[in-house]
A and B are shown apart, each in its own frame.
Chain A
Amino acid sequence: MRRVAIIGTGQTKHGKARDDVNQAELAREATTRALADAGINRRDVDAVVLSNMELFEGRALPEMWVGEGAGGYLKPVTKIATGGTSGTSACIAGYHQCASGLFDVVLVIGWEKHSEGATQTGMALTDPLWDRNVASGAVGNFALSISQYVAERGVTPQQAAKVAVKARRNAAKNPYAHLQIGDITVEKVLESRMLADPVHRLDMCPQSDGACAVIYAAEDRAKKICQRPAWVRAAVTRHDQPYIGDLDRRLVTMRTLRDAAREAYERAGITEPLKELDVAEIYEPVSYAELAWYEALGFCAEGDAGRLIDDGVTEIEGELPVNPSGGVLSTNPVGASGVIRVAEAAMQVMGRAGDHQIPGARLALATGYGVYAWSDVIILSADEAE
Chain B
Amino acid sequence: MTDLLHIPHAMTLSWRYGTSWYFAEFIRALRDERRLLGLRCPVCRRVYLPPRPVCGNCCAEMREWVEVKNSGTVRAFTIVHIPIIDPTTGEPRPAPYGMALIQLDGADTTLNHYLAGNDPSELRIGMRVRAVWREERRGALSDIVHFVAMNNEQSDNEH
Residues of A within 8 A of B (CB): 19-20, 58, 118, 120-121, 123-126, 128-137, 139-141, 143-148, 151, 193-199, 240-246, 248-249
- In the complex, B15 has a CB within 8 A of chain A: yes
Contact status B80-A143, CB under 8 Å: yes
A179 to chain B, nearest CB (A): 18
Question: Which of B9, B88, B120 sits near A132, CB closer than 8 Å?
Answer: B88
Residues of B within 8 A of A (CB): 4, 6, 9, 15, 17, 19, 23, 27, 48-50, 52, 56-57, 75-82, 84-88, 92-93, 99-101, 109-114, 120, 125, 140-142
B6 to chain A, nearest CB (A): 7
* Docked complex Cα distance between A34 and B112 (Å): 43
Query: Among the interface residues A120, A136, A148, A199, which one has the most CB atoms of the partner chain B within 10 A?
Result: A136
Contact status A139-B82, CB under 8 Å: yes
Residues of A within 8 A of B56 (CB): 240-242, 246
B52 to chain A, nearest CB (A): 8
Given known contacts A19-B4, A143-B99, A196-B81, what 10 new A-B pairs fall within 8 Å (CB)?
Answer: A128-B17, A130-B141, A133-B88, A133-B140, A139-B82, A147-B76, A194-B81, A196-B79, A199-B78, A245-B101
A140 to chain B, nearest CB (A): 5
A342 to chain B, nearest CB (A): 28
Residues of B within 8 A of A194 (CB): 81
Residues of A within 8 A of B4 (CB): 19-20
Which A-B residue pairs are the 5 nearest by beta carbons?
A: A143-B78, A133-B141, A245-B110, A124-B87, A135-B86
Query: Among the interface residues B23, B57, B78, B101, which one has the most CB atoms of the partner chain A within 10 A?
Result: B78
* Docked complex Cα distance between A321 and B85 (Å): 37
Contact status A147-B85, CB under 8 Å: no
Contact status A196-B78, CB under 8 Å: yes
Question: Which of B17, B77, B82, B84 sits near A129, CB closer than 8 Å?
Answer: B17
* Docked complex Cα distance between A121 and B9 (Å): 14
* Docked complex Cα distance between A129 and B24 (Å): 10
